[in-house]
A and B are shown apart, each in its own frame.
Chain A
């Protein structure tokens, strides 16, 4: 296994920029590769993305492999598995990390099976074991009720990383690195899927994942009408609306509002949790918040154990008065 060396980051691009998760992966990868005394490389896959290689270097990569091909414009499982499989066999990294995103979730397992190794999904901590030099992969399991640490003795050790759990390095445009272009060499006939269309359901306003304040409603809100009241508070605080799963499943809010293990990961300064119980799966998506405030009629609800401040009461009575007072305090 000694011929395997270095750490590789699978980079993602959104709206012509390196995704936030990619800068986080580079920050984490930098630390792992320094601990191993090895190189950190990034790979960028797509169409028209070669201009971003320098950006990956500014965030910590020593080398960037660019696979730029019109056939790679949309993420597709078959094409990405093929090009990354080829690159991994050529570069032979000890560790390959990806984001726990729609792409990483899809690509990592399939790639791991193809390369006859294994992946750990949704890791929140990665470290090098000082004795074995193996990657210690810590991930929440049982909906976040527990954590498990895994190791894998076949290379590359593959892990996906949860958003907002790793710190990016400060961008340093003066950092030097090497950019290497790789031919995709794809035969279009091996791609067994076709992306027919993409439908955006993005809500106007501040993006949930980037908001400094998130006002989240749960099942106890009872309907779409109730969310209007939450929206008023969110607007006042320049925040975004979130939801637990039941309001999404019931169509009170768009699916994209779901916070949690299988929804979005948020870590705002202020998280206001209204009429939600604080299930472990939900908390997986918001436990990184600086301050959690709970409004719930049940003093025994789990959210009351994890919040910093709480009110026991009916949200229908609490929320309007709270919103009113906040408006006054903000001088609005």
Chain B
């Protein structure tokens, strides 16, 4: 079937993260462990850009049929969180859920995901978010592509499958470029892509019933020394909260309009204007 791709097999990497939209004031680090303290009352979520990746996969599936497999890596993953791709319409969920996978850097994480994808075996497209909303590194996608020897296009806002190639709109600083890439390929998604769909009630019910497949390190043929904290190539020397000095002077007035006038006068006085 040279030159023709019918049903697409799409794999989407989805990360569970602490809610990145939690108010900055609720953010805390435990200096004794060098770790972030989860903000109370704010459950983890699926990383923002990964939801866009799921949406991109589902759009391709809607257009021409296909199978969407989501894969998440972590330790003690919350089923209610990581099942979101299923409730949006993904077909399968694979969890690399084990303490050994935790605390990896970009290399350790990309390696484990790449090995899992190898085990899945059949894929035309691998999609990731452009960066995870916790460590913000933006390396996992490119890393997986490099390990699997695939071409990659990063920070995409649109994907079309045309003549067994992907036509990708890649966001650049003042616009975008249209890139054609041969398949299989890895593409990372950005929020300029169409908004992720809301799960339907039917989708949520189906996701509830669906059991994820859980793989341990041995299942994907990796040695625990190569993944998670043990597999890191970078060492974190320190994690800290930058001190935000500065005090805001609130400009008052009898009315909002008067406050506005006072602000303009103040800016003139301190020579900002």
**Which A positions have Cβ atoms within 8 angstroms of B?**
74, 77-78, 101-102, 105-106, 108-110, 112-114, 117-122, 136, 140-143, 145-154, 192-202, 245, 248-249, 255-256, 261-262, 264, 269-270, 278-281, 283, 291, 293-294, 299, 302, 304-314, 317-322, 325-326, 329-330
> Is B120 in contact with chain A by the CB < 8 A criterion?
no
> Is B220 in contact with chain A by the CB < 8 A criterion?
no
A208 CB, min distance to chain B CBs, angstroms: 9
Q: Assign chain B's interface to a size class.
A: 35 or more
Complex contact B175–A201 (CB within 8 A): yes
Known contacts A105-B138, A141-B136, A193-B181; A280/B24 CB under 8 A: yes
Known contacts A154-B233, A317-B257; A249/B195 CB under 8 A: yes
Rounded to whole angstroms, the CA-CA distance of A320 and B256 in the bound complex is 10
Additional A-B contact list (12), CB under 8 Å, known A142-B18, A293-B267:
A142-B134, A143-B133, A146-B27, A193-B151, A198-B178, A255-B157, A262-B191, A306-B246, A325-B261, A325-B265, A329-B264, A329-B273
Complex contact B191–A201 (CB within 8 A): no
Complex contact A143–B136 (CB within 8 A): yes
Binds A, one of B53-61, B88-96, B210-218, B247-255: B247-255
Q: Find chain A residues with CB under 8 A from B154 CB.
A: 77, 105-106
Residue of A at shortest CB range from B136? A141
**Which B positions have Cβ atoms within 8 angstroms of A?**
18, 20-21, 23-25, 27, 29, 36, 105-107, 110, 130-131, 133-139, 142-143, 145-147, 151-155, 157, 167, 170-182, 185, 190-192, 195, 233-242, 244, 246, 248-251, 255-261, 263-268, 272-273
Complex contact B177–A197 (CB within 8 A): yes
Rounded to whole angstroms, the CA-CA distance of A102 and B192 in the bound complex is 14
Q: List 26 A-B contacts (CB under 8 A).
A: A109-B106, A113-B147, A141-B134, A141-B136, A142-B18, A142-B27, A145-B241, A146-B36, A146-B241, A150-B235, A151-B235, A154-B233, A194-B180, A195-B178, A196-B177, A198-B178, A255-B171, A255-B192, A262-B130, A269-B272, A280-B24, A293-B263, A302-B24, A309-B249, A309-B266, A329-B265
Complex contact A121–B251 (CB within 8 A): no
Q: Find chain B residues with CB under 8 A from A320 CB.
A: 257, 260
Complex contact B246–A142 (CB within 8 A): no
Q: Find chain B residues with CB under 8 A from A140 CB.
A: 136
Contact among A102, A110, A248, A261 for B136, CB-based, below 8 A: A261
Complex contact B25–A202 (CB within 8 A): no
Q: Find chain B residues with CB under 8 A from A321 CB.
A: 256-258, 260-261
Residue of A at shortest CB range from B238? A149
Residue of B at shortest CB range from A325? B264
Complex contact A308–B179 (CB within 8 A): no
Residue of A at shortest CB range from B192? A255
Rounded to whole angstroms, the CA-CA distance of A262 and B139 in the bound complex is 14
Residue of A at shortest CB range from B17? A142
Complex contact A146–B139 (CB within 8 A): no
Residue of B at shortest CB range from A138? B238
